[in-house]
Structure 1
Amino acid sequence: MNWLSRVRNSLPFGTKRETPDNLWVKCPGCQEMLFTKEYEENLHVCPRCEHHGRIGADERLAQLLDLGFAVLPQPEVAEDPLKFRDSKKYTDRLKEARAKNPHKDAFVVGSGTIEGRQAVVGVQDFGFMGGSMGMAVGEAFCAGAREALRRRCGYIVCTAAGGARMQEGILSLMQMPKATVMTRRLKEAGLPYIVVLTDPTTGGVTASYAMLGDVHIAEPGALIGFAGQRVIQDTIREKLPEGFQRAEYLHKHGMVDMVVTRADLRERLATLLDYLQPARAAA
């Protein structure tokens, strides 16, 4: 060992400092590096470009509901009813998804209050198999609607999905009319049904309960549509306008009622519950 190595190793700054792996996060919008703590404190919204990042079900519920809310137990459904297998068994895919997620499937329901207003909130988690709609998602959606009917309060659903779950075939598509019936029951009972469209909301979810609300709110920049842009262009053989499936374009053309930032969403939902159920709010 030469003298330079000996001196370097003896100095306090000679050892390499370890940096935590989760100290920084790259914004998916502007690609800027952000402090993870700063990003999380800003509700996973980039402070530079206002890109609204995707968040999990538990975090969404905590942002919207007052402290002390309860999470409904997830309903039991038949798993792998078709014994489906592609490159992997469906059961193996479910195990992998559950190992990365605190919940058994992609739809979680919380029951509590929003700024003192009674509400039931259902959240679809894109992190669980792309938020795909299968029997478990359909049954959890209906369980949330039944809870709102029991409590005589509004039902708010935050959607995020890539569509129906292909591994369940026709059984996944049957969740569309099933959920539609429950939204009808809410309407007949005079209870608010509000949909918050988050990034992305596509496929069979868009074709059913995501577009049946009394009010449709979208987060800024959210991708919302049924089929992908390339599929539509190839079908109609026309070039589509830039951003035509984004929240702002849909709001401008009347498909979405309002675009609300994540920081303002809780307050806006409380206001809507007051408007749509004034008697309950007064009580």
Structure 2
Amino acid sequence: MPWFKRTEKNIITKTEDKKDVPKGLWHQTPTGKLLDYQELVSNNYVSQEDNYHVKIGSKEYFEILFDDNNFKEIDKDVAPKDPLKFIDKKKYADRLKATQKKTKLKDALRTAVGRSKGKEIVISCMDFAFIGGSMGSVVGEKICRAIDHAIKKKLPFLLISKSGGARMMESAISLMQMAKTSAKLTLLAREKLPYISLCTDPTTGGVTASFAMLGDINISEPGALIGFAGPRIIKDTTGKDLPKDFQTAEFVKEHGFLDFIVHRNELKDRINLYIDLVLNRAVRK
């Protein structure tokens, strides 16, 4: 009987193309928990099963932090170039175009201005989807412009870091952003305007070695990876076993590099509380 034989004509859908669950409806955490995607979204992308904070980008953070997701993006047309004509496996310029098309982002950071709990704030947020959230000339420039805007309008500044570090395709130009952004933050401090640094998973490399650790208040989400070099490199360099939970937010806080660890559902309230305290203004409920 031909219907008992697996011939090419019998197979309508190839085995490798079959999916038991439509893509996007479920999410699996690193601990193996399978989550309903809509429930995950309604809980700010945090698993109620194991408290795992799913990696999200600027779109989601803006939705969480700005009142009614109402904000104005500034400097959104600033885009990277390829001054070094860098070529690895492919041209950097071609990779930029492909990444911009895929992510609908100009680069690895967006800046927006809007109200959070009724008060205006400037928020810059990194996007890991854009070449690992790597810090290039555009990231540094947009951070500096965001600080200039905060100074001009006398507004607090929040920077959300999520990065693998400096962008190697821009070489020394990328590394220069560490000094550039750090110097600009000094001007913000002179104006006595609060800067809150939020470290998310992961915050590593030159980002950690510059603006991510320079906040008036440094905070993080639970379980975030925070460090300079990766654990494997450190272990190979030192030749020693690393402590348990090394480079997690909890480990970093215990050793004095963070002020607080904040659950994503409490981010908006806690950030505004810190700003109110720094500016000595009435706390908003």
Superposed pair shares fold, TM > 0.5: yes
Contact 2:78 2:106 in 1 (8 A): no
Does residue 191 of structure 1 match 2:184?
no
Contact 2:79 2:106 in 1 (8 A): no
1:34 maps to a residue whose letter is L
What's the % identity of the aligned pairs?
Answer: 41
1:239 maps to a residue whose letter is D
Distance 1:203 1:123 in 2: 17
Does residue 203 of structure 1 match 2:200?
no
Distance 1:80 1:280 in 2: 48
Distance 2:200 2:103 in 1: 19
Contact 1:156 1:194 in 2 (8 A): yes
Contact 2:273 2:283 in 1 (8 A): no
Instruction: Tell me the residue number matched to 1:109.
Output: 111
Q: CA deviation at 1:277?
A: 1.0
After superposition, the Cα gap between the structure-2 partners of 1:78 and 1:49, relative to the gap in structure 1 and judged at 3 Å, is: closer
Instruction: Tell me the residue number matched to 1:45.
Output: 46
Q: CA deviation at 1:20?
A: 2.8
Distance 1:74 1:81 in 2: 21
Distance 2:154 2:282 in 1: 9
Q: CA deviation at 1:80?
A: 0.5
Instruction: Tell me the residue number matched to 2:280.
Output: 278
Q: How does 1:52-131 map to 2 (within 5 A)?
A: 52-67=53-68, 68-74=70-76, 76=78, 79-131=81-133
Distance 1:79 1:60 in 2: 27
Q: How does 1:234-253 map to 2 (within 5 A)?
A: 234-253=236-255
Q: What TM-score results when the alignment is normalised by the length of structure 2?
A: 0.89
Instruction: Tell me the residue number matched to 1:219.
Output: 221
1:121-147 CA distance string (max 9 Å, x none): 110111111000000101111111111
Distance 2:282 2:190 in 1: 16
Q: CA deviation at 1:61?
A: 1.1
State the SS of the aligned residue for 1:100.
helix
Q: CA deviation at 1:219?
A: 0.2
State the SS of the aligned residue for 1:109.
strand
Q: CA deviation at 1:271?
A: 0.4
Does residue 30 of structure 1 match 2:35?
no
Distance 1:279 1:63 in 2: 23
Q: How many residues align?
A: 268
Does residue 134 of structure 1 match 2:130?
no
1:252 maps to a residue whose letter is E
Q: What TM-score results when the alignment is normalised by the length of structure 1?
A: 0.90
Q: Which runs of 5+ in 1 are unaligned?
A: 3-16
